[in-house]
Amino acid sequence: MSVDTSMPILVVDDYKTMIRIIKNLLKQLGFNDVDEAMDGSEALRKMQDRKYGLIISDWNMEPMTGYELLREIRSNEPTAATPFIMVTAESKTENVIAAKKAGVDNYIIKPFNAQTLKGKIDAVFGE
């Protein structure tokens, strides 16, 4: 069984360039249904209208961080089980622990390539 590349993915980052990079990597992996949000509150609005198979979110965003977005998603019944990968520039142990406690499915440190991203996605979906 392989990951369903037709599932919709939401990429959340307040940095346009990073969104473009992640979208390109996802496209290389065969994912073409990719939406984007510039911050946590926009992501939550989009999640009200659409069910995503995966959220890939940056940690450092204003005004709502990826961590706050994750907690919001996990505390909301319809979205609680949505797979969530956190992207961060720093591998601070306390961040990793906080994200794990909040229910993150996986964690990816910038910079990364398509192979790394594929490994993380496969791990989330139990490949």
Give 65's pLDDT tier (boundaries 50, 70, 90).
Answer: very high
In a domain, 1, yes or no: no
At 43, which CATH number?
3.40.50.2300
In a domain, 122, yes or no: no
In a domain, 127, yes or no: no
Q: State whether the Cα torsion 27-89-68-98 is positive or negative.
A: positive
Total domains in the chain come to 1
At 84-109, the pLDDT tens digits run 999 988 778 888 899 999 999 999 99
In a domain, 3, yes or no: no
Which pLDDT value is given to residue 32? 96
Which pLDDT value is given to residue 113? 96
In the DSSP assignment, the letter for residue 38 is S
- Residue 100 is encoded by which pair of tokens? 């794990």
In a domain, 125, yes or no: no
In a domain, 4, yes or no: no
Give 115's pLDDT tier (boundaries 50, 70, 90).
Answer: very high
Tell me the whole-structure pTM to 2 decimals. Answer: 0.95
Provide the Cα torsion 41, 45, 46, 48; round to 10°. 140
Domain assignment of residue 63, given as a range: 9-115
In a domain, 97, yes or no: yes
Instruction: Calculate mean pLDDT across residues 10-19.
Output: 96
At 29-64, the pLDDT tens digits run 999 999 999 999 999 999 999 999 999 999 999 889
